[in-house]
Amino acid sequence: MKKINIFGKQISAIILGLTLMAALASAGLLTYFGMITGTAEVSQSVTLDNKQCGGSFPECIVEGAWNGATTAGNTIIDAHNLSNNAEVPATVDFNTTCENSIGADSLSPSTDEYIDWATHCDGITTRYVEYFDDAGADLNSYEAPATADCDITVDTSGSIQTAISGANSGDTICVEAGTYDETILINKNVNLAGAGTDNTTIDASGVEVQAAINAYSQSSVSAVAITASDVTFQGFTVKNAGVGVSGVDARGIFVGGQSDLTGVKLLNNKVINSEASGIQVQYAEVEVKDNEVTNNQWDGFVSFNLEISTISDNIFSNNGPSEQEGWNDAGIEVGLVDGATVAISSNTIKNNGGSGQSNGVGIYLREGITANEDVTIEQNVINTNGDYGILSKANPSKIDIHYNNIVNNGEYGVKNNIANDLDATNNWWGTDGISVSENVNADWMTKTDMTLAAGETDYFGIVNEFDIALIPDSYTIRTKVIPVQ
């Protein structure tokens, strides 16, 4: 057997050959699966819409065909997903080509100019754009306080209101599983904690409710009223506010006081089936997080004089219709005090619908928001709301609407009632395209990150924009997803 001397050692030619073949196979694997780090394995794979891009399929192809004339300004959008089933990162690239099937010269219907058939696809611009996979609510699981952390414990044989009345400032009141047929007023600094939305319910059905404070009279009528600072209310289902009580439009939760409130937290609650709004806030700073607010007669969340606040990781769905003429029934309705800031992020806001008399809106920014206030709307899923995804009657100079998925909302994804432009760039608008009113600067976000982490699935869009009118013909546009070598 022939041997080869390498670094002073005799190595079999057969063994050397097998070693080289293995090295070449690994190099081929890198070609199929992109710029990867770590040890390559045969099980690694990149897929496009569940079609393998590696192995015997080195390229994934998205293909669309269109027949007849295409007018200038037409846009065709497809949504797709890339998955990396490997245990290491992979990088891909895109390549789009266009073919004309007839191969004959003709006249452009828009210019009457003579066009060579080979140039008919030159008027098509292709963009690869972001869908925001991480947008929307991801409700965090709730953990009730440990028994040792409870200063007062309430069970169904007792009353939550009695426990609040007997509590000291700073106490944690733990409410055990069960249904409590009462309405409550939290007028001191306490942490009121239920056993979770599936376990602890405040049911206001048929319970007479009174205004929490005279300052707001009717608007503070609610199942749960919070009139003190530094209150945490968490782990409850609050339902049926005002149901079965004549002449009352009751809120599920009301937050407001004789003076401005701070440090109020509404966490991990479910607010359903209120005769008016699910949550109402006036002259207060609040954190609203990990709540599900649904099937309330008016808004999911409404504020008239909100101060520095965050509304994040909540679900606002199926709120409205109020059937009040000219009203906007919204998932979130925001009015701010002078100089306030509000961040609305990572919420799922869907199916909030008006009636023939009222509008259904995902997010409604009220009149009175000026250039002194900041509103940030980011990473939300805003879809299938009756009339508008976002309706703004506010000064748009400090309103930023970015990185949201805004899809399938009635008349407009975003409507601006002010003459100055509203910035709604860098959003995903769905395969039906961008739908906005006048005075809205809207666009997609160009996809720049072409690397998939191990096990990652990434959704994205291919936008083909027809910049010119194309002659009647058959056009085929192909986009290849190619692992980077």
Q: Is the Cβ–Cβ distance between 190 and 173 less than 8 Å?
A: yes
What does the block give as tokens for 408? 């399938």
Least confident range from 209-223, 258-272, 327-341: namely 209-223
Distance CA 229, CA 339 (A): 20
Polymer length in residues for the chain: 485
Provide the 3-class DSSP secondary structure of residue 257. coil
How many C-beta neighbours within 10 Å does residue 203 have? 19
Residue written as tokens 């009175």?
368
Q: What value does the mean pLDDT take over residues 6-18?
A: 42
- pLDDT for 310 equals 97
**How do residues 405-463 score in pLDDT, each as one tens digit?**
999 999 999 999 999 999 999 999 999 999 999 999 999 999 999 899 999 999 999 99
Position with higher pLDDT, 443 vs 371: 443
- pLDDT for 43 equals 33
Q: How, if at all, do strands 292-294 and 270-272 pair?
A: parallel
Position with higher pLDDT, 123 vs 403: 403
- pLDDT for 161 equals 95
Q: Is the Cβ–Cβ distance between 296 and 329 less than 8 Å?
A: no
Q: What value does the mean pLDDT take over residues 165-173?
A: 98
- pLDDT for 34 equals 28
**For residue 177, with 0-12 CB atoms within 10 Å meaning exposed, 13-18 middle and 19 or more buried, which class applies?**
middle
Distance CA 124, CA 112 (A): 19
Q: What percent of the chain has pLDDT over 70?
A: 78
pTM given for the model:
0.86
What is the greatest pairwise CA distance in the chain?
Answer: 102
Distance CA 204, CA 191 (A): 21
Q: Is the Cβ–Cβ distance between 38 and 88 less than 8 Å?
A: yes
What does the block give as tokens for 213? 């404070």
**How do residues 331-370 score in pLDDT, each as one tens digit?**
999 999 888 999 999 999 999 987 777 889 999 999 888 8
Least confident range from 59-73, 257-271, 354-368: namely 59-73
**How do residues 97-137 score in pLDDT, each as one tens digit?**
877 655 445 555 555 555 554 455 666 788 999 999 999 99
Q: How, if at all, do strands 474-483 and 90-100 pair?
A: antiparallel
Distance CA 226, CA 279 (A): 11
**Torsions phi, psi for 313 (to 5 deg):** 60, 40
**How do residues 375-389 score in pLDDT, each as one tens digit?**
999 999 999 999 999
- pLDDT for 48 equals 87
**Torsions phi, psi for 57 (to 5 deg):** -120, 80
Q: What value does the mean pLDDT take over residues 237-260?
A: 87
H or E stretch including 31? helix 13-33
Q: Is the peptide bond before 321 cis (omega within 30 degrees of 0)?
A: yes
* Model confidence band, residue 61 (pLDDT cutoffs 50, 70, 90): confident
How many C-beta neighbours within 10 Å does residue 451 have? 15
Q: Across the strands, what pairs with 55?
A: none
* Model confidence band, residue 1 (pLDDT cutoffs 50, 70, 90): very low
Residue written as tokens 């070609």?
31
Mean of all residue pLDDT scores within the chain: 83
Q: Is the Cβ–Cβ distance between 217 and 210 less than 8 Å?
A: no
Q: What percent of the chain has pLDDT over 90?
A: 56
**DSSP structure class, residue 436:** B
**How do residues 21-57 score in pLDDT, each as one tens digit?**
333 333 332 222 222 222 233 234 788 888 877 655 5
Calculate the CA dihedral of residues 115, 121, 125, 129 and round it to 10 degrees. Answer: 170
